Chains A and B, each alone.
Chain A
């Protein structure tokens, strides 16, 4: 099983680096999105504009 980085070929190393970069970018975007989501939820809930349910009829 070729999991030792020392034995990788140049192509294998390039593929690994490309995937790691892509994965890191995705995690970064997700973290920023989570921060924005929690910030937005906090702002909306603190402003008191959450919801105003009425009686249960749709039309």
Chain B
């Protein structure tokens, strides 16, 4: 009974409860994991070389579990500010469903396990990149940058981009230029995506004292930065066909999606809404940015699979 967690329900009466498996699953940030799995799987398909289906499954599993481990360690470190924000207050730690040492142990075990299995089952290049991705997210982004600089999202975006490198390295054992272009796409996609969210969640971040760009530099500067990063992102997405690394099936999709993305970023730039409820363009950009990345990587896979 030593590991009995004591949940603190709204009534204020402590109730002895063991943490449920769902609480541990929530620590993994399953929604973030979905995007990681998708981009890593696309990179594995696009990478040259062949891999036994079972090992491919193992590679994706390791990348997903590593992302989950990073999410668990992120929640372990940020339990104090998660409790202050409406969006995160129901997570297992701030809700009292889990204790911090449990979350720490869970994250460390999953992280070490995923790296070890990736190395033993596939190759140690992929395992090394997987370890880098976990450490980058937890140490560089969560512990170092997030509470110190409004550029947290920019540099932290690399953490979300590493799974592509891991996926590519799992198949090919190396990371050539196309892998790094895919990395750059996710890296440059992250600021417009998260800043669009931060615009209509600005009050939450301000309450928690997180120096997100809308909090430190205002809404107008954030909108300008969204447009600037979008203008950097679109040319990078078109680079693969220009360099002869993919066909124009992907290229055409990238151009079409890029035009739509730029129009939406421009609408955000032109917006002057100050209340979250009025931020229609920002919410549209946030939602579209998810679809944008999925379609872009889907087009890459289609290009590689369908065209000679």
Q: Which chain A residues have a beta carbon within 8 Å of chain B's beta carbons?
A: 1-3, 5, 8, 12, 15-16, 19-20, 22-23, 25-26, 37, 40-41, 44-45, 49-59
Judge whether A40 and B18 touch: CB under 8 Å.
no
Contacts of A40 in B (CB 8 A): 54, 58
Among B1-18, those with CB < 8 Å from A are 1, 4, 6, 13-18
Judge whether B19 and A41 touch: CB under 8 Å.
no
Judge whether A3 and B49 touch: CB under 8 Å.
no
Q: How far is the CA of A44 from the CA of B33 in the complex (A)?
A: 26
Q: Which chain B residues have a beta carbon within 8 Å of chain A's beta carbons?
A: 1, 4, 6, 13-21, 24, 46-52, 54-55, 58, 61, 117, 120-122, 171-174, 176-178, 240, 244-247, 303-304, 307
Judge whether A45 and B15 touch: CB under 8 Å.
no
Judge whether B304 and A51 touch: CB under 8 Å.
no
Distance from A4 Cβ to chain B, minimum over Cβ atoms (Å): 8
- Write 6 A-B pairs (CB below 8 A) sorted by A numbering: A5-B1, A44-B52, A45-B121, A50-B52, A52-B50, A58-B46
Contacts of A54 in B (CB 8 A): 48-49
With both beta carbons as reference points, the residue of chain A lying nearest to B47 in the complex is identified as A58
Tell whether A55 pairs with B48 under 8 Å between CB atoms, given A2-B15, A22-B21, A41-B121: yes
Q: How far is the CA of A41 from the CA of B46 in the complex (A)?
A: 23
Judge whether A57 and B48 touch: CB under 8 Å.
yes
Judge whether A19 and B20 touch: CB under 8 Å.
yes
Judge whether A59 and B247 touch: CB under 8 Å.
yes
Judge whether A53 and B171 touch: CB under 8 Å.
yes
CB-CB nearest 7 A-B residue pairs? A26-B21, A53-B49, A56-B176, A19-B18, A41-B121, A51-B51, A54-B48
Judge whether B172 and A16 touch: CB under 8 Å.
no
Tell whether A59 pairs with B172 under 8 Å between CB atoms, given A16-B17, A40-B54, A41-B54: no
Contacts of B247 in A (CB 8 A): 59
Judge whether B55 and A58 touch: CB under 8 Å.
no
Judge whether B48 and A44 touch: CB under 8 Å.
no
For A52, give its contact among B49, B61, B246 (CB under 8 Å). Answer: B49
With both beta carbons as reference points, the residue of chain B lying nearest to A48 in the complex is identified as B52
With both beta carbons as reference points, the residue of chain A lying nearest to B55 in the complex is identified as A44
Name the residue in A19, A44, A56, A57 with the highest tally of chain B Cβ atoms < 10 Å from its Cβ.
Answer: A56
Tell whether A2 pairs with B14 under 8 Å between CB atoms, given A49-B52, A57-B245: yes
Contacts of A44 in B (CB 8 A): 52, 54-55
Distance from A5 Cβ to chain B, minimum over Cβ atoms (Å): 6
Contacts of B13 in A (CB 8 A): 2
With both beta carbons as reference points, the residue of chain B lying nearest to A47 in the complex is identified as B52
Q: How far is the CA of A22 from the CA of B117 in the complex (A)?
A: 27
Q: How far is the CA of A59 from the CA of B18 in the complex (A)?
A: 52
Tell whether A51 pairs with B50 under 8 Å between CB atoms, given A1-B6, A15-B17: yes
Judge whether B15 and A15 touch: CB under 8 Å.
yes
Judge whether A1 and B14 touch: CB under 8 Å.
yes
Q: How far is the CA of A3 from the CA of B48 in the complex (A)?
A: 56
Q: A1-B6, A58-B48 are in contact. List 9 more A-B contacts (CB 8 A).
A: A2-B14, A16-B18, A22-B20, A41-B54, A44-B55, A56-B172, A59-B244, A59-B245, A59-B247
Q: How far is the CA of A12 from the CA of B7 in the complex (A)?
A: 12
Q: How far is the CA of A53 from the CA of B13 in the complex (A)?
A: 60
Contacts of B178 in A (CB 8 A): 56-58
